[in-house]
């Protein structure tokens, strides 16, 4: 499980009256010393990524038979982003991402951003600005928050890096991506973002870290990176909490 979970070993197990909280994945009662508010079982069932078991381009977990360090998708395209990082395979953390995104549990952002921070701390390239993948303003009004904004602002604080939620604009609302297949998804998102014109100067020559909750086909991240690079950004990296795997 690598570095991400190294600190679990240091947790004391013999607390007499531990204050109880709930595991953010399964809801079981845990004591509040558990890292990331996860119970041991949920830590064991999820698949966590580290520097060795992922696609060197998009951060997706690779199966044992993958070679050359790239997933099938990245072996066939050159995306506009430079490199991506992820914490875990989507299936094992589905409950967390779902509750965080659709269940109004914005406060899960604290545990999730802590996992992102631990995933990045030893590998993060030099970054000038941390920014979220923007949500269309109508959708954000309806949901009450943009989950990427919650994560990105918390993460920027932990990384001690400047945060700018306004570098990208989502020009139009897109159909619910989860319902779409990959080719439709990429058509649906094409041209959906542009860099905020007032930020042109701030973006030129800068290295950006984009933050989102989930990476699926990469079309969203690619479009964001295209828009940032068109505005003069030098490099675009990203971090997500959950990603797919290339396992068949």
Which CB, 193 or 238, lies closer to Zn ion?
A: 238
Check residue 101 for interaction with Zn ion (CB under 5 A): no
Check residue 161 for interaction with Zn ion (CB under 5 A): no
Identify which of 159, 165, 163 has the alpha carbon closest to the alpha carbon of residue 146. Answer: 165
* Window of 9-17, 59-67, 164-172, 191-199 that interacts with Zn ion by CB under 5 A: 59-67
Check residue 133 for interaction with Zn ion (CB under 5 A): no
- For residue 207, list its beta bridge partners: 235
In which region does residue 2 sit, left (phi positive, over 0), alpha (psi from -120 to 50) or beta (all else)?
Answer: left
Q: Which parts of 17-56 interact with Zn ion (CB under 5 A)?
A: 23, 25-26, 39, 42, 55
**Rounded Cα–Cα distance for residues 33 and 24 (Å):** 14
Check residue 96 for interaction with Zn ion (CB under 5 A): no
Half-sphere exposure of 237 (CA within 13 A, CB side): 20
Check residue 71 for interaction with Zn ion (CB under 5 A): yes
Nearest approach, Cβ of residue 195 and Zn ion (Å): 25
Which CB, 60 or 119, lies closer to Zn ion?
A: 60
Q: How many chain residues touch Zn ion (CB under 5 A)?
A: 11
Check residue 74 for interaction with Zn ion (CB under 5 A): yes
Contacts 24+ apart (CB under 8 A), 153-159: 154/109, 154/110, 154/113, 155/113, 155/116, 155/117, 155/130, 155/211, 155/239, 156/130, 158/113, 158/114, 158/117, 159/117, 159/120, 159/124, 159/127, 159/130
**Rounded Cα–Cα distance for residues 230 and 165 (Å):** 18
Contact 73, 28 (CB under 8 A): no
* Window of 65-73, 103-111, 130-138, 193-201 that interacts with Zn ion by CB under 5 A: 65-73
Q: What would the two tokens of residue 179 be?
A: 């319902």
Check residue 222 for interaction with Zn ion (CB under 5 A): no
Which CB, 137 or 183, lies closer to Zn ion?
A: 183
Contact 41, 35 (CB under 8 A): no
Check residue 220 for interaction with Zn ion (CB under 5 A): no
Which CB, 42 or 209, lies closer to Zn ion?
A: 42
| Beta-strand relationship, 207-215 and 193-195 | unpaired
Which CB, 55 or 214, lies closer to Zn ion?
A: 55
Identify which of 192, 193, 184 has the alpha carbon closest to the alpha carbon of residue 217. Answer: 184
Which CB, 202 or 221, lies closer to Zn ion?
A: 221
Residues 57, 133, 150, 155: which binds Zn ion (CB under 5 A)? 57
Which CB, 165 or 186, lies closer to Zn ion?
A: 186
Q: By the criterion CB under 5 A, which residues form the site for Zn ion?
A: 23, 25-26, 39, 42, 55, 57-58, 60, 71, 74
């Amino acid at each position: 499980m690598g570095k991400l979970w190294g600190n679990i070993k240091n947790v004391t197990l013999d607390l007499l009256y531990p204050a109880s909280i709930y595991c953010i994945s399964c809801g079981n009662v845990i004591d509040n010393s558990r890292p990331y508010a996860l119970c041991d079982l949920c830590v064991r069932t999820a698949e966590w990524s580290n520097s060795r078991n992922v696609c060197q381009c998009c951060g997706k977990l690779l199966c044992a038979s993958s070679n050359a360090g790239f997933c099938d998708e990245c072996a066939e395209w050159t995306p506009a982003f430079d490199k991506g990082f992820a914490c875990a395979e989507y299936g094992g953390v589905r409950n967390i991402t779902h509750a965080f995104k659709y269940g109004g549990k914005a406060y899960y952002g604290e545990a999730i951003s802590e996992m992102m921070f631990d995933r990045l701390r030893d590998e993060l390239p030099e970054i000038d600005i941390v920014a979220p993948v923007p949500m269309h303003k109508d959708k954000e009004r309806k949901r009450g928050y943009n989950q990427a904004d919650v994560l990105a602002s918390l993460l920027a604080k932990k990384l001690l890096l400047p945060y700018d939620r306004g570098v990208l604009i989502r020009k139009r609302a897109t159909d619910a991506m989860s319902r779409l297949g990959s080719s439709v998804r990429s058509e649906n998102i094409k041209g959906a973002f542009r860099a905020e014109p007032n930020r042109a100067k701030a973006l030129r020559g800068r290295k950006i870290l984009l933050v989102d909750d989930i990476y699926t086909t990469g079309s969203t991240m690619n479009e964001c990176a295209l828009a940032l690079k068109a505005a003069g950004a030098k490099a675009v990296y990203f971090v997500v909490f959950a990603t797919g795997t290339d396992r068949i």
